[in-house]
């Protein structure tokens, strides 16, 4: 199924206008899609001159979906519409989105000349436009004013042409000869699969979206489990990883006194076409009355997995696709998005399975010497002791190494040995103790699955040497006093993670053991 995607995402599809309109005389009327009674809008207008955008007008927040603006100078302009919920303020906690944008050219209306006394027969003869030439400037006065061009709504896209590098100058022929006739004889390029089609105006250096069809993402699973009144949610699925881009290059016809379409604005003529194969990047979000960033995420070329911990279940997923393309020295930055409903299925056997937001720190299933919580040996035991010797340890998510070194907080006789402390993007911290070796530096960014360290037996307990194991802690903050049970947060089938030698040491079954019998 093909679907044009929606940019930015509220409770209804968002529209963006990318046609260039022509207005003759003030005021200029800007209109946009109405998104619901609970929203209000703000309008910004920018004057475009010498490839720069200058803000010239900012409206108050209004409830109507149209506004009249007085324009005082002939030029090209860009308008943007921002949206927010009524009563909200735009700050770090609440983002106000730019939901629509468009371009227009503005001209002052020609002065009306007093008609001369003529007989009835002369008055019925169509008169050509009046041309008044003064020095090096020429003023064109058409017989009638042109009405603004009707807007064409394009679903789910917005186009920007912000330049990251100096633009190239294009040399175009002084006149275009019979180009339209040639274009009509050309065989059209077949548009199959996932594609977007644009017109690139060489004179104005702007892109205009014509059409866009991209496969709808597929949600393969959405699940949740509960922990301390919170929902641990997880979603997996697939999406398209590439898109074909068709760009038709067009120039503006030169002014022709006999051709009224050249008097105002730009009468576009297509001169050539280009094709590109572009990688489509992705981000996926949860949605429940507002966009919610996941606590943990993996975005592969064609697959995704996101997870988070929230007070209520999300109702939708937001898929955002984006790409950047350099064409004739200018950048086309495109965002495409869609909101898709999903139903989260509860994992019934919560004692054995997890819906956690973090991956298991090892590449294989290993057993446990001591669980988190109040155990027969220690109360509280602030982490999980995994029964491993010189085992590679991997990052459970994306985050930053915030501390490393040798732990002597409780003295030499009760030392954690070589340790790492990683702050994950969710805000949680993970501590890894008694390490043999570390492979990362303090302050280094790490990604999920990146090698962190090798487990060992450094440190001591009551001045006695330790056996090989990894003491693994999950903390709400950096302090050890904020330790929490890692089991609900690690995405592993805990029924496979057994208590090591529990038949010999049954006290090891104590603590927050997800399966107290083994």
Task: State whether 175 and 221 are in the same domain.
Answer: yes
Assigned domain for 352 exists: no
State the virtual CA torsion across 470, 471, 474, 480 in degrees, nearest 10: -150
Task: State whether 315 and 170 are in the same domain.
Answer: yes
Task: State whether 91 and 156 are in the same domain.
Answer: no
Number of domains into which the chain is organized: 3
Q: Does the structure show a pLDDT above 50 at 174?
A: no
Average pLDDT, the chain: 76
Q: Give the domain-ending residue among 109, 128, 143.
A: 109
Assigned domain for 179 exists: yes
Q: Give the domain-ending residue among 109, 142, 173.
A: 109
Task: State whether 232 and 337 are in the same domain.
Answer: yes
Are 407 and 417 a contacting pair, CB within 8 Å? Answer: yes
- Over residues 424-439, the mean pLDDT reads 90
Q: Does the structure show a pLDDT above 70 at 71?
A: yes
Q: Which residues contact 75 (CB under 8 A, 6 or more apart)?
A: 47, 48, 49, 105, 106
| Confidence at 124, pLDDT banded by 50, 70, 90 | very low
Looking at residue 348, its pLDDT comes to: 65
Specify the pairing of strand 15-17 against strand 75-85: unpaired
Are 365 and 359 a contacting pair, CB within 8 Å? Answer: no
Question: Which residues form the domain of 163?
Answer: 1-12+152-346
- Rounded Cα–Cα distance for residues 314 and 284 (Å): 13
Task: State whether 390 and 340 are in the same domain.
Answer: no
Task: State whether 7 and 29 are in the same domain.
Answer: no
Task: State whether 8 and 41 are in the same domain.
Answer: no
Share of the chain above pLDDT 70, in %: 76
List the CATH number of the domain containing 433: 2.70.70.10
Assigned domain for 336 exists: yes
Assigned domain for 117 exists: no
Task: State whether 5 and 27 are in the same domain.
Answer: no
Task: State whether 50 and 8 are in the same domain.
Answer: no
Assigned domain for 403 exists: yes
Task: State whether 319 and 262 are in the same domain.
Answer: yes
Task: State whether 205 and 104 are in the same domain.
Answer: no
Looking at residue 191, its pLDDT comes to: 66
Owner of token pair 């009835």: 120
Task: State whether 374 and 469 are in the same domain.
Answer: yes
pTM: 0.50
Assigned domain for 60 exists: yes
Give the three-class secondary structure for 63. coil
Specify the pairing of strand 470-475 against strand 483-484: antiparallel
- Rounded Cα–Cα distance for residues 81 and 98 (Å): 6
Q: Give the domain-ending residue among 296, 316, 346.
A: 346
List the CATH number of the domain containing 84: 2.60.40.1220
């Amino acid at each position: 199924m093909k679907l044009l995607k929606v940019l930015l995402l509220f409770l209804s599809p968002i529209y963006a206008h990318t046609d260039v309109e022509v207005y003759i005389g003030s005021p200029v009327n800007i209109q946009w899609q109405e998104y619901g009674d609970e929203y209000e809008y703000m309008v910004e207008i920018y004057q475009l001159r010498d490839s720069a955008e200058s803000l010239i007008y900012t409206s108050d927040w209004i409830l109507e979906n149209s506004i009249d603006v007085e324009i005082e100078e002939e030029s090209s302009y860009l308008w943007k519409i921002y949206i927010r919920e009524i009563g909200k303020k735009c700050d770090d906690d609440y983002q106000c989105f730019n939901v629509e944008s468009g371009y227009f050219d503005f001209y002052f209306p020609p002065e009306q000349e007093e008609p001369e006394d003529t007989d009835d027969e002369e008055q019925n003869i169509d008169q050509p436009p009046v041309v008044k030439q003064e020095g090096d400037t020429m003023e064109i006065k058409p017989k009638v004013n042109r009405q603004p061009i009707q807007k064409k709504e394009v679903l789910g896209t917005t186009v920007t042409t912000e330049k990251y590098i100096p633009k190239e100058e294009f040399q175009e022929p002084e006149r275009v000869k019979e180009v339209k006739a040639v274009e009509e004889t050309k065989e059209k390029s077949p548009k199959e699969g996932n594609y977007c089609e644009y017109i690139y105006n060489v004179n104005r250096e702007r892109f205009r979206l014509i059409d866009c069809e991209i496969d709808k993402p597929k949600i393969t699973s959405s699940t949740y489990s509960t922990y301390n009144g919170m929902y641990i949610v997880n979603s997996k699925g697939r999406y398209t990883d590439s898109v074909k881009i068709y760009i038709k290059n067009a120039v503006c016809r030169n002014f022709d006194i006999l051709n009224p379409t050249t008097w105002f604005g730009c009468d576009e003529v297509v001169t050539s076409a280009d094709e590109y194969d572009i990688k489509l990047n992705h981000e996926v979000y949860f949605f429940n009355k507002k966009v919610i960033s996941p606590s943990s995420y993996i975005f592969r070329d064609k697959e995704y997995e996101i997870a988070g911990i929230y007070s209520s279940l999300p109702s939708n997923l937001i898929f955002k696709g984006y790409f950047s393309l350099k064409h004739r020295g200018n950048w086309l930055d495109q965002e495409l998005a869609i909101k898709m409903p999903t139903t989260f299925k509860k994992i019934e056997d919560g004692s054995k399975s997890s819906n956690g937001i973090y991956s298991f720190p090892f590449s294989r299933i290993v057993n446990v010497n001591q669980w988190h919580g109040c155990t027969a040996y220690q109360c509280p035991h602030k982490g999980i002791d995994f029964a491993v010797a010189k085992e590679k340890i991997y990052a459970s998510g994306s985050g930053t190494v915030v501390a490393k070194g040798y732990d002597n907080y409780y003295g030499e006789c009760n030392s954690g040995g070589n340790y790492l402390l990683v702050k994950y993007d969710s805000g949680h911290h993970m501590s890894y103790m008694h390490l043999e070796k570390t492979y990362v530096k303090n302050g280094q960014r790490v990604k999920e699955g990146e090698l962190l360290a090798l487990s060992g037996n450094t440190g001591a307990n009551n001045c006695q040497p330790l056996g090989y194991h990894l003491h693994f802690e999950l903390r709400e903050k950096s302090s050890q006093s904020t330790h929490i049970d890692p089991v609900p947060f690690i995405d592993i089938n805990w029924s496979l993670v057994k208590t090591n030698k529990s038949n010999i040491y049954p006290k090891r079954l104590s603590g927050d053991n997800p399966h107290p019998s083994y």
